[in-house]
């Protein structure tokens, strides 16, 4: 649905994108995650035809986004970082204006507007002027304009930026509802947002893709954690002899239990927990805990930020 290859973009001496490539399949919800200045907005502006890259190609729905921006824009819904809303217009007049600009046939306009208004829960605010709405409701108006023409692809630049926790939950619910019918790429620097909404994450740092993976793949490690009531003398040696185990690190827990962090040999190998359980049973160790050691997105992100 979206194919981006070798994107480069500089603003004067600032290299905002240094060769970014990724593909997004139909129906995926992908989070573009990165710290401030990583290049997220620049990518979104290029995808939506508001900015030309210095190098690279972008194909959206089979069209060349750089050569046919208008045809591509017809398939896209875009919520820019600072949605250019007209503060003096009433919500309904603004949406009517967008429907006209989007060339939605007159006979369909009211139906489309009411669908978008219903989806974004704006029913009771139609006659309010946009300038008097709270930030969360303005964001909903931004989303309503983005979905008005029923785009197959939604590009949302930091959709929850500056919202309070209740508004964040509302907008996330909305994005999840939209994901039932659309391919979505949204940018954020909030890790929990990606965990709450995405199938996949692309982590961008200094204008480069550092990781592009499904969340389940990122979380998986070949490691395990074992906690025993007491630390048998030869436990470390025996654990090290288990097939697939590379290293064993011992530490005492606050409760005085013996905890072992057991590192597997390679990613993607078979779960080592069953073999460890078998060993514990044979040795009559008193087991308090045995689990696979999963990584959080936060730890992945921090590893990358420190190695960047």
- Positions in the binding site for ligand ATP (CB under 6 A): 11, 14, 16, 34, 36-42, 189
Structure tokens at 10: 């500089």
Task: Give CA separation, 154 vs 4, 55, 175, 183, 256, in Å.
Answer: 16, 24, 9, 6, 52
* Residue among 40 and 140 whose Cβ is closer to ligand ATP: 40
CB nearer to ligand ATP: pick between 34 and 69: 34
> Helix, strand, coil proportions of the chain in percent (round to 5)?
35, 30, 35
42/160 with CB nearer ligand ATP: 42
Instruction: Give whichever of 32 and 276 is closer to ligand ATP, judged by the CB atom.
Output: 32
Closest approach, Cβ 303 to ligand ATP, in A, equals 19
Q: Report the nearest approach of ligand ATP to the CB of residue 248 (Å).
A: 40
Least gap, CB of 12 to ligand ATP (angstroms): 6
In the complex, minimum distance from the CB of residue 193 to ligand ATP, in angstroms, rounded to a whole number:
13
Q: What whole-number distance in Å separates Cα of residue 177 and Cα of residue 204?
A: 26
Tell me the closest approach of the beta carbon of residue 24 to ligand ATP, in angstroms: 18
Q: Are 284 and 224 in contact (CB under 8 A)?
A: no
First-to-last CA distance in the chain?
Answer: 30
Output 157 or 170, the one with its CB closest to ligand ATP.
Answer: 157
CB 131 within 8 A of CB 93: no
* CB proximity list for 280: less than 8 A, separation 6 or greater: 226, 228, 287, 290
Cβ closest to ligand ATP, residue 99 vs residue 297:
297
In the chain, how long is the greatest CA-to-CA distance?
A: 80
- Bridge-partner residues for 5, per DSSP? 57
Strand bridging mode 76-79 / 153-157:
parallel
User: To the nearest whole angstrom, how small is the minimum distance from the Cβ of residue 187 to ligand ATP?
Assistant: 6
**Which DSSP string corresponds to 253-274?**
-TTS-EEEEEEESSTTPPPSHH
CB of 296 to ligand ATP, least distance (A): 21
Q: What is the DSSP secondary-structure string of 271-308?
A: PSHHHHHHHHHHTT--EEEEEE-PPPHHHHHHHHHHH-
In angstroms, give the least distance from the CB of 158 to ligand ATP.
7
Cβ atoms of 27 and 75 within 8 Å: the answer is no
Nearer to ligand ATP, 4 or 272 (CB): 4
Min dist CB 54 to ligand ATP, Å, is 13
Closest CA to 17 of 28, 29, 6: 6
CB-nearer residue toward ligand ATP: 15 or 236: 15
When the beta carbons of 189 and 292 are compared against ligand ATP, the nearer one is: 189
């Amino acid at each position: 649905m979206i194919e981006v290859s070798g994107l480069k973009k500089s603003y004067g001496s600032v290299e905002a994108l240094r060769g970014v490539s990724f593909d997004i399949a139909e129906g995926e919800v992908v989070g573009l995650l990165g710290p401030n200045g990583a290049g997220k907005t620049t990518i979104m502006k290029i995808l939506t035809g508001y900015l030309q890259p210095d190098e690279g190609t972008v194909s959206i729905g089979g069209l060349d986004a750089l050569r046919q921006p208008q045809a591509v824009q017809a398939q896209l819904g875009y919520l820019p970082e600072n949605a250019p809303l007209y503060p003096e217009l009433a919500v309904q007049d603004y949406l009517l204006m967008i429907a006209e600009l989007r060339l939605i046939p007159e006979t369909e306009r009211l139906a489309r507007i009411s669908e978008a208004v219903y989806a974004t829960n704006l029913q009771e605010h139609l006659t309010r002027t946009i300038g008097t709405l709270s930030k969360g409701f303005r964001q909903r108006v931004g989303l309503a304009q983005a979905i008005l023409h029923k785009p197959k692809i939604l590009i949302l630049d930091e959709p929850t930026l500056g919202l309070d926790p209740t508004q964040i939950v509302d907008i996330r619910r909305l994005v999840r509802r939209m994901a039932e019918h659309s391919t979505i790429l949204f940018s954020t620097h909030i890790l929990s947002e990606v965990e709450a909404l995405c199938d996949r994450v692309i982590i961008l740092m200094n204008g480069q893709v550092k990781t592009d993976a499904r969340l389940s793949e990122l979380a998986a490690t070949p490691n395990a954690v074992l906690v025993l009531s007491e630390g048998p003398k030869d436990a470390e040696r025996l654990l090290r002899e288990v097939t697939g185990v590379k290293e064993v690190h011992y530490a005492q827990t606050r409760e005085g239990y013996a905890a072992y962090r057991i590192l597997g040999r390679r990613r993607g190998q078979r779960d080592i927990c069953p073999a460890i359980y078998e060993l514990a049973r044979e040795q009559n160790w008193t087991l308090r805990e045995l689990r696979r050691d999963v990584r959080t997105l936060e730890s992945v992100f921090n590893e990358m930020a420190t190695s960047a």
